[in-house]
C-alpha cells in the first residue's frame, strides 16, 4: 500500500471519529444545521413541558382541610342508613358520640330516590331520613345513582364527611384529599382520615 493511500485512510478514520463525537443535539450546532428529525424531537419536547393539573381546592392547607367542622356536615349514603338500622343505631346520636361535636346529616335527592326504589322493606329508613334534623340537598343531575353525585359534591366542596359502608365508594373518596369517611362498625361509627388534631378524640 502506498504512503498516500495510507494517509488518506487515516484521515478518513479521523474524520469519522470526529463525526461520531458531535451529537446532532449539540448546542454548538445552529438550528439550520440540525437534521429534520432532531428539530421535530425538540419541538415535541417543548410541547411536553406543558402539564395541565386540576386546580387544588383553596380549602386545603397542604393535606389539612381547613373547612371541616364542628359542626360537622355529613353526607349520608343509602347503605349507611340501612346498616345503621340493622345495627339499631340512632344516626344523629351515634355520629355525635363518634365526633364529640354537633353533626348535621345531609341527604341528597338521589339517596332518597334509591331508598324509595328499594321498596316496602325500607320504609323505616325513609321515615328516619325525613326527620327535620336531616338536611336535604337537591340534585341537578339525572338518574338516581348516588355514588357519582356524592363524589362530585365532595370534590367541589371540602366541608363534608362522607358516611358510607360501600367499598367502591370508599375507594373513590380516598382518592380525594381532605375528605374523611365515616362507616358503621358493630355498635358505633368509626371515622377514617380525620385530621390529626381530632383523631385522639375520635378513637376513644
Ligand atoms: Zn344526587
Distance 141 CA to ligand 1 centre (A): 6
Span 4-36, pLDDT tens digits = 888 888 888 877 766 666 676 777 777 666 666
Which of 101, 99, 165, 108 has the alpha carbon at shortest distance from 136?
108
Which of 146, 138, 157, 144 has the alpha carbon at shortest distance from 78?
146
Span 133-189, pLDDT tens digits = 999 999 988 888 899 999 999 998 888 999 999 999 999 999 988 899 999 998 899
Span 102-113, pLDDT tens digits = 999 999 999 999
Is 99 in contact with 70 (CB distance < 8 Å)? yes
Q: What's 90's DSSP letter? A: -
* Residue that has been written with the C-alpha cell 389539612 in this structure: 64
Distance 148 CA to ligand 1 centre (A): 8
Span 61-85, pLDDT tens digits = 666 677 787 889 999 999 999 999 9
Distance 55 CA to ligand 1 centre (A): 23
CA count, 13 A, side-chain hemisphere, 32: 0
Q: What's 120's DSSP letter? A: G
Distance 95 CA to ligand 1 centre (A): 22
Distance 130 CA to ligand 1 centre (A): 16
Distance 57 CA to ligand 1 centre (A): 21
Is 158 in contact with 179 (CB distance < 8 Å)? yes
Distance 150 CA to ligand 1 centre (A): 7
Distance 160 CA to ligand 1 centre (A): 15
Q: Cα 180 vs. chain centroid, distance in angstroms?
A: 12
pLDDT at 148: 92
pLDDT at 8: 87
pLDDT at 70: 84
Distance 91 CA to ligand 1 centre (A): 20
pLDDT at 136: 94
Amino acid at each position: 500500500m502506498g504512503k498516500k493511500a495510507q494517509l488518506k485512510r487515516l484521515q478518513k478514520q479521523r474524520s469519522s471519529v470526529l463525526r461520531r463525537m458531535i451529537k446532532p443535539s449539540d448546542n454548538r450546532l445552529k438550528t439550520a444545521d440540525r437534521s429534520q428529525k432532531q428539530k421535530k424531537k425538540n419541538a415535541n419536547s417543548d410541547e411536553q413541558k406543558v402539564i395541565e393539573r386540576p386546580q387544588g381546592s383553596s380549602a386545603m392547607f397542604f393535606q389539612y382541610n381547613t373547612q371541616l367542622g364542628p359542626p360537622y356536615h355529613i353526607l349520608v349514603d343509602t347503605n349507611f342508613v340501612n346498616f345503621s338500622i340493622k345495627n339499631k343505631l340512632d344516626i344523629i346520636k351515634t355520629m355525635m358520640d363518634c365526633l364529640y361535636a354537633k353533626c348535621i346529616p345531609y341527604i341528597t335527592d338521589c339517596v332518597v330516590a334509591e331508598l324509595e326504589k328499594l321498596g316496602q322493606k325500607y320504609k323505616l329508613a325513609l321515615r328516619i331520613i325525613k326527620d327535620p334534623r336531616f338536611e336535604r340537598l337537591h340534585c341537578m343531575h339525572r338518574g338516581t345513582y348516588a355514588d357519582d353525585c356524592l363524589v362530585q359534591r365532595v370534590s367541589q366542596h371540602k366541608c363534608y364527611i362522607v358516611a358510607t359502608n360501600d367499598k367502591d365508594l370508599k375507594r373513590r373518596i380516598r382518592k380525594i384529599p381532605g375528605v374523611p369517611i365515616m362507616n358503621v362498625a358493630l355498635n358505633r361509627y368509626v371515622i377514617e382520615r380525620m385530621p390529626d388534631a381530632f383523631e385522639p378524640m375520635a378513637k376513644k
